[in-house]
Structure 1
């Protein structure tokens, strides 16, 4: 049976029960107190005659109540369930692949309105997620196709020109293959971050900064970039591997997108109002306000940013943003007045009882 029919039968059943109780009350409390013989102006009326006359009248009333309950219940159930029809239609439209449809249910702020609004919000997020996935897949396919095409071209040249220096060919193939590997690893990290399939543990973000700086110090020295890191113990919660990847990406981005010489990177960690804060600043070119919001888009490259052999695969800040979001944090990017960027990541602290000046026992 449909829900509308169930509601109709429920309404009719309730009306019938109420009618039976009412007629029973009339019988018990009125007819019970009537004497066996009642003298009237027209003669003598016996109680048994009243009882026989009451039964058909009561039956007629119950039949009317049943018809009224069924008809009224059907109409009321239809009006009550009308919002569900709109929600069902929207769900079927979404199941067919169209995520742009919205219910936009009008009326009072009741449970159906809340359900419809929640469904619209879900559709909006799903539509944005699917669009981002399609855009990301297209960009990833393009990026992966490039090194493969270059490799094929180099191999074709080597096959048609045996006299060509093989060492030069090997060096170029090695560089192209290394870039393809870096891109694939970055895609895997981004996918893992977006799925949020990781175990949360206690992590000291300041130690991850030290590890990232130590790892990237050779690249910084080669480019003449000085790194200054300072800060207190920063107790966060999350995946140590992903947070290390996030920190490494931020420091690496600050190094490679810096001044051609004598650049500086500043890294700071701290605790503020129940959140841990990681700030990475770097000197560099003056960036336009229109460019900054696009830097977290996958494979985003711009002529305003310096390009080097260490400039990455265009996923650095996209990975940072994704990791911050799956850790219930936020990423803020602002251009510095003298050039470069100031990037701030805020994450939930491990707990309000943690002291920023004392490393807890057993803390990672």
Structure 2
């Protein structure tokens, strides 16, 4: 399922960031305003240039010697040419300045957009860091009371409501499971007492009592699964070094299955996590492979070191599964179709596996095998000191 999301993300063209859009906007507005300013300057500068007659042109003023008139006309013509050259230089300088600023404006726009979006980047990083395990954290945006601070306060309020909802869910699952265990234990004791009576019981009563006892055990397993699922989703107590290869070998031996392939040349380092939850993960995967299998089917379990993690692979034969069925298997009470609803399963096995993997910052991949059956791959990171 994660591979499908990654492939879709790879096929999707990368979108431009908001910072790029702001940069283009800033640069475009600056260039447009500069061009308008240059046009206005050129218009008024061109209007102030007055064409003066050259030497020897125009009528003579009365009482003014001809030589003086010739000299005045020559000076006026030179002044007009100087004004024309000065105007051209001003327009050229403005155009060069506009060109230089056109080159610099993207960099200035990028810097300005970065300064404006810096609070948003901080808020995004903090929000990503906050998960179901640390919903008590808040953005706590400081600074002036503006739109960004209002957004941060709104996210903090949302995180507060989410924290309350998660806490209520944990309390409800734990309280409901514990409260239901008492009447279940009472009913189980009543059935056991009935079956243990010395007087002979009718066969129908004995069969019915045995069926009720079986169903009570199924409900008890369901409640235990719900408690494990809630604990895996919301807390990770007592982290320690755990060897997944040893847990896998113990699970196979306990179920009378072959111990698996011989140890690899590369030793498998221990992962760091909760031993109880990781043991439940391995046992659920092995049980799932055994229950949802064909008669005289096969189960293969392999644990190996890969990169900076440890990979647990559990494969089994069985019916062919469609891709949409595989993606639903990690949801609670989903068994992948009517042909996978038999047995004593509660529909929480792979849901618990997914929750435990997420609690240990791991990765879960499910693939339907071409010839039928399922391959489940769990990758759990190991501490840096273990890989070094």
TM-score with structure 2 length normalisation?
A: 0.49
Change (3 A) 1:252 1:169: same
Would you say 1:207 and 2:242 are equivalent positions? no
Confirm or deny: 8 A CA contact 2:228 2:352 kept in the other structure.
yes
Confirm or deny: 8 A CA contact 1:265 1:280 kept in the other structure.
yes
Q: What SS does the aligned partner of 2:321 have?
A: coil
Would you say 1:258 and 2:293 are equivalent positions? yes
Q: Aligned partners of 1:245 and 1:256: how far apart in 2?
A: 16
**1:211 offset after TM fit, Å?**
1.1
Q: Aligned partners of 2:232 and 2:274: how far apart in 1?
A: 10
Q: What SS does the aligned partner of 1:168 have?
A: helix
Larger Rg: 2
Alignment of 1:41-60 (within 5 A): none
Would you say 1:280 and 2:314 are equivalent positions? yes
Change (3 A) 1:333 1:125: farther
Alignment of 1:146-165 (within 5 A): 164-165=202-203
Alignment correspondent of 2:5: none
Confirm or deny: 8 A CA contact 1:278 1:344 kept in the other structure.
yes
**1:354 offset after TM fit, Å?**
3.5
Change (3 A) 1:176 1:131: closer
Superposed CA offset, 1:170-215 (max 9, x none): 3212211211221121122112212214110011111111111112
Count of residues in Structure 1 that have an aligned counterpart in Structure 2: 235
Q: What SS does the aligned partner of 1:345 have?
A: strand
Alignment of 1:54-203 (within 5 A): 164-165=202-203, 166-203=205-242
Alignment correspondent of 1:236: 271
**1:327 offset after TM fit, Å?**
1.1
**1:163 offset after TM fit, Å?**
7.9
Confirm or deny: 8 A CA contact 1:235 1:354 kept in the other structure.
no
Q: What SS does the aligned partner of 2:323 have?
A: coil
Confirm or deny: 8 A CA contact 2:243 2:270 kept in the other structure.
yes
Q: Aligned partners of 2:331 and 2:281: how far apart in 1?
A: 15
Q: What SS does the aligned partner of 1:279 have?
A: strand
- Structure 2 portions without partners, runs of 5+: 1-145, 177-182, 191-199
Confirm or deny: 8 A CA contact 1:227 1:265 kept in the other structure.
no
Change (3 A) 1:229 1:174: farther
Q: Aligned partners of 1:327 and 1:307: how far apart in 2?
A: 29
Alignment correspondent of 1:297: 331
**1:241 offset after TM fit, Å?**
0.9
Q: Aligned partners of 1:280 and 1:290: how far apart in 2?
A: 20
Q: Aligned partners of 1:344 and 1:133: how far apart in 2?
A: 32
Q: Aligned partners of 1:125 and 1:288: how far apart in 2?
A: 37
Alignment correspondent of 1:8: none
Q: What SS does the aligned partner of 2:271 have?
A: strand
Q: What SS does the aligned partner of 1:254 have?
A: helix
Change (3 A) 1:192 1:269: same
**1:339 offset after TM fit, Å?**
1.1
Aligned with residue 332 of structure 1, among 365, 370, 380? 365
- Structure 1 portions without partners, runs of 5+: 1-107, 139-144, 153-161, 221-225, 356-364
Confirm or deny: 8 A CA contact 1:278 1:346 kept in the other structure.
yes
Alignment correspondent of 1:29: none
Q: Aligned partners of 2:164 and 2:369: how far apart in 1?
A: 35
**1:169 offset after TM fit, Å?**
2.4
Confirm or deny: 8 A CA contact 1:328 1:348 kept in the other structure.
yes
**1:352 offset after TM fit, Å?**
4.4
Q: What SS does the aligned partner of 2:384 have?
A: coil
Q: Aligned partners of 2:163 and 2:317: how far apart in 1?
A: 36
TM-score with structure 1 length normalisation?
A: 0.52
Change (3 A) 1:286 1:272: same
Q: Aligned partners of 2:377 and 2:171: how far apart in 1?
A: 26
Change (3 A) 1:299 1:307: closer
**1:167 offset after TM fit, Å?**
2.4
Alignment correspondent of 1:34: none
**1:330 offset after TM fit, Å?**
2.0
